Structure 1
Amino acid sequence: MTGATGVSGDWVARELDEQLGSPAGATAGPDESALTRALADATTGGKRFRPHLVESVHRLLGGRRADAVPAVGAALELLHTAFVVHDDVIDGDDTRRGRPSAPGTFRAHAQRAGASPAAADAYALAGAVLTGDLALAAAVRAVATAPAPPATVARLLDLLDAALRISAAGELADVRFSMGLAEPSLADVLTMEEHKTAVYSFELPLQYGAVLADAEESVVLGLGRVGRQLGLAYQLLDDVQGVFGDPARTGKSALGDLREGKRTPLVVHARTTSAWPVVRRHLGDPHLGPAGAAEVRRALEAGGSRAFVEELAAGYVAAATAQTAELGLPAELVAWVGDMSQTLTRGAA
């Protein structure tokens, strides 16, 4: 990426390498080496759009802290890595982006060494949790050591702390809803998705770019609201892909959400339609196969749930674009938000 910031090339990869340091060498023990490799693997791949959101907002607001952008952008990628690794632990996913996830990698290592199934499970849990912890610590360190004035770094850390707390609560709500003890409302699951994904993936990057550009607090807060709208749209379309998507393209199973009994907006809407008896029969079945999943997909489409969620996402995109125009931002930034929102939501869809 090039522009007024002076950031160019694959700067995210270079900065991640810088933040994580050299791989563990000969003096490191086997466990440190295993964690170092797992962390490097976990940061490989993905869209990496969060760092580029920071860079773009900073540039379009006329920011002059190009030297701080890479560290802050990498911090967001490391934060995402931490959440992804821990999410795979929570969901029991051994695959991520079409290849073994952190827990899947550690489980495979244990199995090859001849561990029992229970021991392999314990090793997978420990290795993945610790890998996520290291990613989270690296994210905080990247922000804390960014080359920016102390007041700016303090503001960035405050925003990071708030995003961590909100996102963690969103993750816990997701698991609580999946227990099936009480059916959440649409408002409940939208709040959960806003907290779990939109806050750290969209709100925080847009705010980071504005803070680095010394924008007024009203702009920082306004871009945060825009980010939440975009994040909700993105997550809603991701939910659709979690059931209807092609695993070869999305890099994740199209059975996982259904097997785990996730109460996504698709499921919550289906509860109000004729599709619910079919969906309820298969939802949360850990042995759900392709035939049962296909039956659920047909029911969700026939009952209008897929169309409902896609229309809801489009509404959030429109709201984000309108809110951006009301903030009095440079025309280039307003246009960029419109283009970016369409690109990201098409990517999710």
Structure 2
Amino acid sequence: AYTALAPPGAPPARTRHGDHLALYWADLLLGLAADLVEQAPASPEVRCRLSATVGHVLTRTHRGQLTELHLQHTHPAQIPVADLLAMYADKAADYCYQLPFTLGAILGGLDPDRLGATRTVLETVGVASQIIDDIAGGCPQVLEQGKDSIGEITQLRRTVLLCDLARRLPAGDPLQPILAGQATTPEQTAAIREAFLTFGAVTAAATRAAALADQAAAAIDRLGLAAPATAYLHDLVDVRVRHSLGVLTAGDAVGSG
């Protein structure tokens, strides 16, 4: 809707008026959840826990977004994978996966220890899902999910996929100095997308996601949740991660470099 209201112009202008405004609006709506907490038909103690949960996710989300901006000043080959995964956990996993379950679990009376263990599983699923999104947006022809994050490549966002590529490029490859920069031309963007496959960056990223999915799936049955919640969590792993990994394998489209 915001993009439709944007003035005519180049894609960057439409992004500023469309995608960026939509994201800021979504962040505002999440903050307004605090108003709903005040109206919740629950005890003051429960409302306090709900309010603290909303505040916690807002803190983590903004920390993750700031970390992402900070990483732009580091060559992608020099960014530790652990730092990228921690950033994904902050900016995406809590917001999209942990928060909804946590609010429901608090209202449903789930004991804090079991909730903490479940949040750990959901964070793992969320990080794996973010890696899948990297692949889907970076190589849309591979997963065909209708997602094309070309802006992330043209702005050289430090994703797991980009950093894996930077580490796998041979010394002297013409893409090395390009990846160290802050923006690409259309021709360079196309070359980077091809390199994701040629040098096995998609395979490396998918392998990380698969390991995280296996870790989460192995922990779900140990949580001791009721059957519907257990089935929901397994379904989350399958739909958000394993299905996409199956498409990658079936398509035989990833490089093996």
Tell me the TM-score normalized by structure 1.
0.59
Query: Is the contact between residue 60 and residue 91 of structure 2 (CA under 8 Å) also seen in structure 1?
Result: yes
Q: Does 1:298 align with 2:194?
A: yes
- Per the alignment, residue 138 of structure 2 pairs with 243
1-side partners of 2:174 and 2:185: how far apart? 13
Deviations 1:180-208 (A, max 9, x none): 46842111111111111011111112222
Look up the equivalent residue of 1:273 and give its one-letter code. Answer: R
2-side partners of 1:205 and 1:135: how far apart? 14
Query: Is the contact between residue 230 and residue 341 of structure 1 (CA under 8 Å) also seen in structure 2?
Result: yes
Look up the equivalent residue of 1:216 and give its one-letter code. Answer: D
**1:251-266 to 2 correspondence within 5 Å?**
252-266=147-161
Deviations 1:301-320 (A, max 9, x none): 22221111111111111111
- Per the alignment, residue 35 of structure 2 pairs with 141
**1:61-76 to 2 correspondence within 5 Å?**
none
Per the TM alignment, residue 327 of structure 1 is displaced from its structure 2 partner at its CA by 1.6
SS in 2 for 1:327: coil
SS in 2 for 1:308: helix
Look up the equivalent residue of 2:60 and give its one-letter code. Answer: I
Q: Does 1:152 align with 2:46?
A: yes
2-side partners of 1:347 and 1:321: how far apart? 14
1-side partners of 2:169 and 2:183: how far apart? 23
Per the TM alignment, residue 152 of structure 1 is displaced from its structure 2 partner at its CA by 1.6
Query: Is the contact between residue 243 and residue 297 of structure 1 (CA under 8 Å) also seen in structure 2?
Result: yes
Q: Share of identical aligned residues, percent?
A: 24
- Per the alignment, residue 233 of structure 2 pairs with 337
Query: Is the contact between residue 161 and residue 202 of structure 2 (CA under 8 Å) also seen in structure 1?
Result: yes
Deviates more, 1:237-246 or 1:137-146: 137-146
1-side partners of 2:232 and 2:28: how far apart? 34
Query: Is the contact between residue 230 and residue 317 of structure 1 (CA under 8 Å) also seen in structure 2?
Result: yes
Deviates more, 1:174-183 or 1:321-330: 174-183
Query: Is the contact between residue 33 and residue 54 of structure 2 (CA under 8 Å) also seen in structure 1?
Result: no
SS in 1 for 2:114: helix
Match of 2:72 among 178, 198, 203: 178
SS in 1 for 2:34: helix
SS in 1 for 2:79: coil
Q: Does 1:199 align with 2:87?
A: no
1-side partners of 2:240 and 2:26: how far apart? 26
1-side partners of 2:213 and 2:87: how far apart? 18
Query: Is the contact between residue 282 and residue 288 of structure 1 (CA under 8 Å) also seen in structure 2?
Result: no
* CA distance 1:132–1:229, change in 2 (3 Å): closer
- Per the alignment, residue 6 of structure 2 pairs with 107
Per the TM alignment, residue 124 of structure 1 is displaced from its structure 2 partner at its CA by 4.5
Aligned residues: 237
* CA distance 1:346–1:294, change in 2 (3 Å): farther
Greater radius of gyration (CA): 1
Query: Is the contact between residue 278 and residue 296 of structure 1 (CA under 8 Å) also seen in structure 2?
Result: no
SS in 2 for 1:223: helix
Per the TM alignment, residue 246 of structure 1 is displaced from its structure 2 partner at its CA by 5.0
Match of 2:203 among 298, 307, 322: 307
Gaps of 5+ in 1: 1-40, 42-101
- Per the alignment, residue 111 of structure 2 pairs with 216
Query: Is the contact between residue 203 and residue 228 of structure 1 (CA under 8 Å) also seen in structure 2?
Result: yes
Look up the equivalent residue of 1:296 and give its one-letter code. Answer: I
Per the TM alignment, residue 299 of structure 1 is displaced from its structure 2 partner at its CA by 1.9
Q: Report the aligned-residue RMSD.
A: 3.2
Per the TM alignment, residue 251 of structure 1 is displaced from its structure 2 partner at its CA by 5.3
1-side partners of 2:208 and 2:221: how far apart? 20
Q: Does 1:288 align with 2:185?
A: yes
Tell me the TM-score normalized by structure 2.
0.78
Query: Is the contact between residue 325 and residue 334 of structure 1 (CA under 8 Å) also seen in structure 2?
Result: yes
Look up the equivalent residue of 2:119 and give its one-letter code. Answer: G
Q: Decide which structure has greater helix share.
A: 2
1-side partners of 2:243 and 2:72: how far apart? 26
Look up the equivalent residue of 2:116 and give its one-letter code. Answer: L
**1:53-132 to 2 correspondence within 5 Å?**
102=2, 104-105=3-4, 107-108=6-7, 124=17, 128=21, 131=25
Deviations 1:161-219 (A, max 9, x none): 11111111000111111234684211111111111101111111222221121011111
